[in-house]
Structure 1
Amino acid sequence: MTLYYSLVFALLVAEMALFVALIVPMPFTMKRKLFTFISGSPLVAKVQYGMKITFIFILILFIDSVNRVYRVQVELAQAKNQGGAAAAAAGSERMEVQARKFYSQRNMYLCGFTLFLSLILNRTYTMILDVLRLEEEVKKLNGDKSAGGKGEKKLADAGDMGEIGRLKEELKKRDRDIDVLKKQSGGLSDEYKRLGDQFHVSDGTPKKDR
């Protein structure tokens, strides 16, 4: 195994260990402190940015391994079409092609599982943040004085990456749009009344008492 595929394998093992750490049951207070630290640490943010770049390179390796598997499959199909003495003479070459097929498939599965597990980790992390934030809100509504504070604010900010945060932003945007429409409607109504008064004055019609 080459060096970069060895690094991909090490990353896959690290992802599996991190996934197990995320799903391990632990007390709510400890979990809240842990995820508050993770979501607010600038060092963790830099590591996440570096991992995104790393996964781009792994995606390139995955595409290259898929291409290699396809080419090996074509070579094997051509070797099967050969018959008799030609096939016997090409026996050693076919063994080499089979070995290359094995290594290409191994690299493809390695890169593919690493990328797939990265997506699972990202989604699991976001869901845990949403669950912690909702538990904080439930405790706050039930009158638990220990709930809230800076930890809740950080978890809420981190949870905005999820679907609930996006829905809240959309509701705020719609409320602002409704306020703008109300102001525009009031301005148009005032302008209509002013133009109506001017029309009555210019027409010589006395303005009726309202």
Structure 2
Amino acid sequence: MGVYLAALFSLLVIEMAILFVLVLPLPQRMRRWLYTRYNAISSNKKFRTYMIGIMMLVGLLFVDSWKRSQVKVSTYRDQKNSFVINSVTPVDALASRAYNQRNVYISGFIIYFCICILTVMSILRRIVEWNDKVKAGDAILRERLKQKQKYLKKLQRKELCREKRS
């Protein structure tokens, strides 16, 4: 029980660290590096298979813990029905409910952070691609600007020649 809980908690901490790094205002070079690493890792079939398996197990744990945490808790004795012997919930049931609620929170946050990481990586991909297009466009715009400056200088020379003639 402790090993799987430690593994889940470790996965949660790793996801939080990844998400923290992704949302930092990093320079473009670092963003591009993160995106290329993510793209290389996510295109690996073994990694995708492992992640799908892990997320399926976490999803099953979430559903199972959710169902088990819905135990009805009564902390009083039913005075109207004298045939009910144990209407007060035992401590073991309360402890089991608390453990299952904890598992719901941990597995739910793991699923949530996985979705957040995918969303942030999608945004990061768009930023990297847009910045690459802007840089490529900058080179084109600089070339056009040079051409227009040359054309403007020619026009200025012609204007100076006209002023000198008149």
Same fold (TM over 0.5): yes
Say if 1:93 and 1:29 are closer, same or farther in 2 by CA, change over 3 A. closer
Partner of 1:13: 13
Paired letter, 2:25: P
Q: Count how many residue pairs are aligned between Structure 1 and Structure 2.
A: 138
Shift, 1:23, TM fit = 1.5
2:139 pairs with 1:143: yes
What TM-score do you get using the length of structure 2 for normalisation? Answer: 0.70
Q: Supply the distance in 1 between the matched residues of 2:2 and 2:79 (Cα, whole angstroms).
A: 35
CA separation of 1:45 and 1:34: change in aligned 2, threshold 3 A? farther
1:160-175 equivalences in 2 (<5 Å):
none
When residues 41 and 5 of structure 1 are mapped into structure 2, their CA distance, relative to the original with a 3 A threshold, is: closer
Deviation at 1:41, TM superposition (A): 4.9
1:134 maps to 130
Instruction: Give the CA deviation at 1:107.
Output: 0.8
Spell out, residue by residue over 1:37-73, the C-alpha distance to the aligned partner (whole angstroms, 9 max, x if none). Answer: 3313578553243112100011011111011111x2x
- Hey, which of these two has a bigger chunk of helix by percent? 1
Change in CA separation of 1:100 and 1:33 when aligned onto 2, cut-off 3 Å:
closer
- Taking the aligned partners of 1:43 and 1:98, their CA distance within structure 2 comes to 45
How do residues 52-201 of structure 1 correspond to structure 2 at under 5 angstroms?
Answer: 52-70=52-70, 72=71, 74=72, 76-77=73-74, 80=76, 82-83=78-79, 90=86, 94-143=90-139
**Structure 1 counterpart of 2:114, one-letter code:** S
Query: TM-score normalized by structure 1?
Result: 0.57
1:146-183 Cα distance to aligned partner (Å, 9 max, x none): xxxxxxxxxxxxxxxxxxxxxxxxxxxxxxxxxxxxxx
Q: Which runs of 5+ in 2 are unaligned?
A: 141-166
**Residue in 2 that maps onto 1:170:** none
* 1:160 paired residue number: none
- Which residue pairs with 2:148 in the alignment? none
CA distance in 2, matches of 1:83, 1:92: 12
Shift of 1:92: 8.4
Which position in structure 2 is the counterpart of 1:2?
2
Counterpart code for 1:108: V
Change over 3 Å in CA distance of 1:41–1:61 after alignment to 2: closer
RMSD: 2.9
| Higher RCO, 1 vs 2 (CA within 8 Å, ≥6 residues apart) | 2
Query: Secondary structure of the equivalent of 1:143?
Result: helix
The answer (yes or no) to whether the contact 2:69–2:101 under 8 Å persists in 1 is yes
